[in-house]
Amino acid sequence: MKPLLARAARILLTLALVGAAGLMGWQLWRYYMESPWTRDGRVRADIIGIAPDVSGFVAEVLVADNAVVARGQPLLRLDQARFALALQQAEAVVASRAATLERARRDERRYDRLTEGVVSIQRQDQAHSEAATAAAALQEAEAQRDLARLNLERTEIRAPVDGTITNLTLRPGAYVAAGSAVMALVDAGSLHVQGYFEETKLGRIHPGDPARVVLMGDARPLSGRVESIAGGIADREQAGGLVANVNPTFSWVRLAQRVPVRIALEEIPEGMRLIPGRTATVTVMPGGVAPSLLRP
Amino acid sequence: MIAEIDLYGIYLPALLVWAALALPAFALLRALLRRAGLYRLVWHPPLFDLALYILTLGGVAALTESLLS
């Protein structure tokens, strides 16, 4: 009887420990594998390509590389000579057209005063139409002058938003073409964190959930909020051409893909360098509750 | 949540580091239990060892989580 009892006690002790280990293992798995967190996060911001509206030589670069600029601050000036001349030319055309209009109006008044019989109706009509044409021509010239003035103003390129100039290699003397970006401006107002979450974790993430962001190399946590979840990611099987190119080796192992989740940052501690591209660890707290190892 | 551990610029997932830390702790615990004679009361020692290791790992993880985060 005694050996049997001892044996039962030994089995029970072992099984109790195995049971406890099972619970612990399950909890560890849940915490590390299933709760919505990711080490694959990035700081992001919208980058504006600053492009001149007119072509020309760069006369002055008014900012340094990596400078913090305010909205409306001048960034660079193009050589103005050509545009100043164009404005002069347009102003001269306006003056000439104005003179033409004045003469046409005077002629019109003269013909109007003459009575029928002295001048033909056809000639009177002609005077009216000449005056109208001259008025229209003046308007055209004025529009051309305004355009020349606008071009002249646009030789000074200003910052469209608050932000940081980055990777500036432009030097005076370079020729820049209208519409092609010559410097990058990181929009400070658009800084956010993008967390790439496995699709298996998406069910636990909802817009509005609080999130905790830790940048690589900086222990201070940032608080944020899930703003939105990406509307789509690429389907690699459909990437090229008109027909699907399906990967044939997909029998056993499949990896969860990752979907970008946009995290809006609530406040940024003083001195924290939020540089777009930095790596971040993002933990989402569904319903405001952080994942915990101890809570089931 | 402690997500990763910086080891001279190599960022390892925390669970891996805890698993490595749990190994010596587990070895120590097993030696102590063996000396105390507990293994006479164990039905299947390797199974018991596995369970003990998982419990140690959980303990290390819980301890570091509560101490460091």
**What phi, psi does A130 have (nearest 5°)?**
-65, -40
pLDDT of A230: 93
Residue span of the structural domain in which B56 resides: 4-68
Q: Please, are residues A34 and A293 in contact by the beta-carbon 8 Å criterion?
A: no
The residue type of A237 is E
Pick the CATH number of A80-154 from 1.10.150, 3.40.50, 1.10.287, 3.10.450: 1.10.287
| Domains in chain A: boundaries | 35-46+188-288, 80-154
Nearest to A39 among B4, B50, B62 (CB): B4
- Is B2 or A10 the better-scoring residue by pLDDT? A10
Q: How many residues belong to chain B?
A: 69
Q: What is the pLDDT of residues A123-148, one digit of tens each?
A: 889 999 999 999 999 999 999 999 99
- Of A280, A166, A140, the closest CA to residue A219 belongs to A280
Q: Which is higher by pLDDT, A67 or B3?
A: A67
CA–CA distance, B30 with B16 (Å, rounded to integer): 21
Q: With bands split at pLDDT 50, 70 and 90, how would you rate the model's confidence at A81?
A: very high
Do the beta carbons of residue B4 and residue B14 sit within 8 Å?
A: yes
CATH number among 2.60.40.10, 3.30.565.10, 2.60.200.20, 2.40.30.170, domain A35-46+188-288: 2.40.30.170
Q: Which of A10, A25, A216 lies nearest to residue B54, judging by beta carbons?
A: A25
**Which residue of chain A is at minimal alpha-carbon distance from B68?**
A219
Is B57 part of the contact surface with chain A (CB cutoff 8 Å)? yes
Task: Tell me what pLDDT residue B69 has.
Answer: 65
Residue B46 pLDDT greater than 60, yes or no: yes
Q: What is the DSSP letter of B8?
A: T
Q: Which of B41, B48, B51 is opposite residue A9, by nearest beta carbon?
A: B41
pLDDT for position A185: 94
**Strand, helix or coil at B49?**
helix
Domain count, chain B: 1
pLDDT (average), residues A249-278: 86
Query: Distance of alpha carbon A271 from its chain centroid, rounded?
Result: 24
User: Does the distance separating the beta carbons of B11 and A13 come in below 8 Å?
Assistant: no
CA distance B68 to A269: 21
Domains A35-46+188-288 and A80-154 share a fold: no
pLDDT digits (tens, 9 = 90+) for A13-43: 889 999 999 999 998 888 888 888 898 999 9
b/e sequence B17-41, b meaning 16+ C-beta within 10 Å: bbbebbeeebeebbeebeeeeeeee
Is the ipTM above a cut-off of 0.90? no
Highest mean pLDDT among A146-150, A254-258, B40-44: A146-150
Is residue A41 within 8 Å of A59, Cβ to Cβ?
A: no
- The helix-helix angle for B45-68 and B14-36 (nearest 10°) equals 130
